[in-house]
Amino acid sequence: MNARPMPASLVDNPRLDRWIHFQPDRTVRIATGKVEMGQGVVTAIGQIAAEELDLPFDRIVVLSGDTTNGPDELYTTSSLSVEVSGGSVRLVCAEVRAKALERAALRLNCSRDDLTVVDGQFLQNGAATGQDYWTVASEIDLTQAATGSAPVKPAASYRVVGHSVPRIDLPAKLTGAAFVHDVLPKDVLHARTLRQPNRGASLASLDEAAIRRAAAHHYADGELQIIREANFVAFVSPVESVAQAAAAAAPPHAKWDNARRLEPAQQEAAWLKGQPSDDRRIGAWPVPTTPPKRLIQMTVSRPYIAHASMSPSCALAEFRDGHLTVRSHGQGMHPLRKNLAAVLGLPVEAITAQHLHGAGCYGHNGADDAALDAALVAMRIPGRWIRLQWRREEEFGFEPVGPAMLVTLHVDLDERGRPADWTTEIWSPTHVQRPGSGSGYLLASEALSNPPAEIAPFDPPEERGGGGTRNAVPLYDVPTHRILHHLVMRPPVRTSALRGLGALPNVFAIESLIDDLAARVGEDPVAYRLSILSEPRARRLVELVAERAGWASRGPSGTGKGLGLAFARYKNRAAYAAVVAAVTVQETVKVDRVWCVADAGLVVNPDGARNQLEGGIVQAVSWTLKEQVKLDAEGIASRDWESYPILRFSEVPEIQVEFVDGVGNPTLGVGECTVGPTAAAIGNAVNHALGVRIHDMPLTRERIMAALLKT
Amino acid sequence: MGFAFTVNGEAKRVEAPETATLLDVLRNHLGLMGTRYGCGLEQCGTCMVLVDGQPAYACTREVGTVADRKVTTIEGLGTPAKPHPLQQAFLDEQAGQCGYCLSGIVMSAKALLDRNPKPSRSDIVAALDRHLCRCGAHQRILRAVERAAQAMSSGRPA
């Protein structure tokens, strides 16, 4: 039998028992290496398993992010979980179902074709047999490798997949303890850190007595241990408030040598231009020798953006009898285990890493770093559980941030005002410094006595969707396209993956330019788009979202009210999304309403996926209107919610989202598909409202006033 | 020092300095983990509880100031098996993503519905505006509070 191509996760973890286990309580444990971050992935993967096994959904238990019993699926990123992990679970369950029916057929002395599975019961020509998965489970060899060859159910017969299922993790989160932050093992010690201000800074002196006095001021009887290992410092106490008070008091009592100084100008995207960079040319190089006839250029930017998770990072660690156990809300437990082993000099087998929930992170935040912090303390105090909690100012100040980007488009037009030759020039620091990826380290490793060598940054390659170049290639009918990517080598702050990577600035640039090009030839932006968009799935969305938003009755430009449209397919290979934003612009921009139509192929959990579209829209509104990481001489200065404001209840638009019917098409990841189109739709709506375009995000009051002065 | 107060209807006595925060006491002394640390600065709302029915930031509230008062936390509302109508309405609307902000938001919503059983959309927005939600579940949350208000005022389950 010819096997179909297997998802990467199944190729990497072929043994069936890495994925599935029949438990004595008549549940099935499905293991995934992807982790829940509020995106609903464990529910969706449970649905896929229930579907292929023909079991009721409540018989499925999902184990997520466990280095002992689960598969290694690297990090939970790039809107790939349902496609890759879900795809693997689908094949595994189909194969196990086939094996179980073969064993039952032998027992019943009947043909395999006479058997069906209904609600987990095996029926012979429709009649009960007394056989089910559990009666034959001991006869199925789950140590075998998956072949990927068992037939999967046709989508037309689905009764769990494609139907909305309530998230299985939500009840706990609405009633009490639910997060790694909420676990207090017996005799736990609480820990906080004093952070090395930057790589290379060394701790010249630490006035421990002053810190102890400050901590004692809060809790006279709380014992305090101060752990120092080179430039890593932790405050440890059985009383959480003591550790907290010590850490809060510590910074003025620490003197650092080699602390770097930053300039305020470095916080702006404009600073990136002219910095040393690693330049790559992608696409139709070299440029044509004939001079451009109708060259149009546009530059847009966005600043550094914080993940700004609601929960400062936290981890638990215990080092007992030579074995380290870590509980973390990071995005990948197998990579975390490997990275900890490398820093701590432990064999990988001496470490167990288990995922517990944290707040949404939307990319690479401080979660993994907190796990190393906790492990470093645990190694110094064996036999005790350590709970290490980052403080709010630490999360804002030391998590990696989403890179600032500057994008310039150089587009030569044909005689009909359509793009004929298109060059995208991008300046950006790297979008991935995940530990273990070859481009980044766990933060505290740089504070230890043998810090890892500094490495030249690099970006995800094009075949993985790129980083700064993500969504730089327009989906429109452009005869020639090329990219010049300046990977800026020494940004002022640590940068790494933030939801969408470069998609947001790149889509903002493309869709802003397309609106300007339509205006240039006096055409409606929707009609202009459709004239250069032949992809049928894309056309359908643009037409539908325009209809939903009442585009035909869009008013004139310059009234203070605007309607803007934008479209993209995430990574040019995941879900498609078309967005219309309605705005009111006075001194500031208010996004009143957003319509979104998406095509994600087969949607496993429609309500869960809608929730992802809505959340991406709100987050993109917040980024586009309000957010910028601020720097001062010492580093990140925006360390609380007043200096880093995000969108509030009173500012959130009405949102209407829908999926077009995608049954028959493979599932496409939805988590990041709305961010680029939302930002660009707002930009176009503001342009419509004001009659003037603002090219730099965030679209603040100052930028609006400056733009209005120009009109 | 010892303090006596009522938590979720039960009389409690804790030994803690009077400057200890209510958040610290709830989590580390009483094991009530649903009240969450988000910023420690009264800026995000994840630690919101009720003190004598009024919303209060537990992250900065000194425990000495709640002596002899009634404190209500998310655990005082309901359980997964027996949720409060507000919690049920949040589940019905699937109002949340990561869920870290929800327990504080539910407590502010509880205080609102206790004083105003039929709030308008703008009343709800005003009551929740001090809460941050980073996942962008705001519209679902607003719908959930409306749904709970309807259910509670009609006496029917949400």
Asked whether B20 and B63 are in contact (CB, 8 A), the reply is yes
Q: What's residue A1's pLDDT?
A: 43
**Bridge partner list, A487:** A278, A428
Please indicate, yes or no, whether residues A14 and A123 belong to a single structural domain of this protein.
yes
Q: Cα-flanking dihedrals φ and ψ of residue B113, to 5°?
A: -70, -30
Q: What's residue A486's pLDDT?
A: 98
- Whether a cis peptide bond, with omega within 30° of 0, leads into A400 is no
pLDDT value at B156 more than 80: no
Please indicate, yes or no, whether residues A157 and A63 belong to a single structural domain of this protein.
yes
Please indicate, yes or no, whether residues A584 and A698 belong to a single structural domain of this protein.
yes
- Which chain B residue has the Cα nearest residue A618? B136
Nearest residue to A395 via CA among B23, B98, B145, B41: B41
What b/e string do you get for A657-694 counting C-beta neighbours within 10 Å, with b at 16 or more?
bebbebeeeebbbbbbbbbbbbbbbbbbbbbbbbbbbb
Domain that holds residue A389: 180-258+308-398
Q: What's residue A662's pLDDT?
A: 85
The verdict on a CB contact (< 8 Å) between B17 and A220 is yes
Q: What's residue A220's pLDDT?
A: 64
**Bridge partner list, A283:** A482
Nearest residue to B84 via CA among B58, B105, B110: B110
Please indicate, yes or no, whether residues A192 and A326 belong to a single structural domain of this protein.
yes
pLDDT value at B60 more than 70: yes
Q: Retrieve residue A30's tokens.
A: 């499905």
- Which chain A residue has the Cα nearest residue B82? A175
Please indicate, yes or no, whether residues A390 and A422 belong to a single structural domain of this protein.
no
Q: pLDDT by residue (tens digit) across A290-312? A: 999 999 999 999 999 999 999 99
Q: Judge whether A682 lies within some domain.
A: yes
Q: Kindly state the DSSP code that residue B46 receives in the 8-state scheme.
A: T
ipTM: 0.98
Q: Judge whether A61 lies within some domain.
A: yes
Question: How long a stretch of residues is chain B?
Answer: 158
Please indicate, yes or no, whether residues A78 and A29 belong to a single structural domain of this protein.
yes
Would you kindly state where each structural domain of chain B is located, as residue ranges?
Answer: 2-76, 85-154
Total count of domains within chain A: 3
Which of A378, A398, A418 corresponds to the end of one domain?
Answer: A398
Please indicate, yes or no, whether residues A609 and A482 belong to a single structural domain of this protein.
yes
Which 3 state secondary structure label does DSSP give A538? Answer: helix
Please indicate, yes or no, whether residues A85 and A119 belong to a single structural domain of this protein.
yes
Please indicate, yes or no, whether residues A142 and A215 belong to a single structural domain of this protein.
no
Q: What's residue A169's pLDDT?
A: 95
Amino acid at B59: C
Please indicate, yes or no, whether residues A138 and A38 belong to a single structural domain of this protein.
yes
Please indicate, yes or no, whether residues A139 and A76 belong to a single structural domain of this protein.
yes
CATH 3.10.20.30 is right for the domain spanning B2-76:
yes
Which of A163, A193, A212 corresponds to the end of one domain?
Answer: A163
Question: Which residue shows structure tokens 């992010």?
Answer: A65
Residue A621 CA, distance from chain mean position: 17
Q: Cα-flanking dihedrals φ and ψ of residue B81, to 5°?
A: -75, -30
Chain A contacts in chain B segment 40-99 (CB below 8 A): 40-41, 43-44, 46, 74-75, 77-80, 83, 87, 90-91, 94, 96-99
CATH code: domain of residue A118:
3.30.365.10
Q: Judge whether A114 lies within some domain.
A: yes
Q: What's residue A216's pLDDT?
A: 87
Q: Judge whether A283 lies within some domain.
A: no
Chain B contacts in chain A segment 73-102 (CB below 8 A): none
Which of A374, A398, A422 corresponds to the end of one domain?
Answer: A398
Q: Retrieve residue B52's tokens.
A: 């004598």
Q: What's residue A314's pLDDT?
A: 98
Q: What's residue A2's pLDDT?
A: 46
Q: Which residues of B touch A40 (CB under 8 A)?
A: 97
**Bridge partner list, A635:** A632
- Mean pLDDT over each residue of chain B, to the nearest integer: 96
Question: How long a stretch of residues is chain A?
Answer: 711
Residues in CB range of A573: below 8 A, 6 or more apart: A465, A668
**Which residue numbers in chain A have pLDDT < 70?**
1-4, 218-221
The verdict on a CB contact (< 8 Å) between A184 and B33 is yes
Please indicate, yes or no, whether residues A560 and A545 belong to a single structural domain of this protein.
yes
Q: pLDDT by residue (tens digit) across A168-183? A: 999 999 999 999 999 9
Q: Cα-flanking dihedrals φ and ψ of residue B116, to 5°?
A: -145, 90
The verdict on a CB contact (< 8 Å) between B98 and A360 is yes
Fold designation for B85-154: DNA polymerase; domain 1 (1.10.150)
Residue A428 burial (CB count, 10 A): 29
Q: Kindly state the DSSP code that residue A82 receives in the 8-state scheme.
A: I
Q: Retrieve residue A244's tokens.
A: 């907290």
Chain B contacts in chain A segment 583-602 (CB below 8 A): none
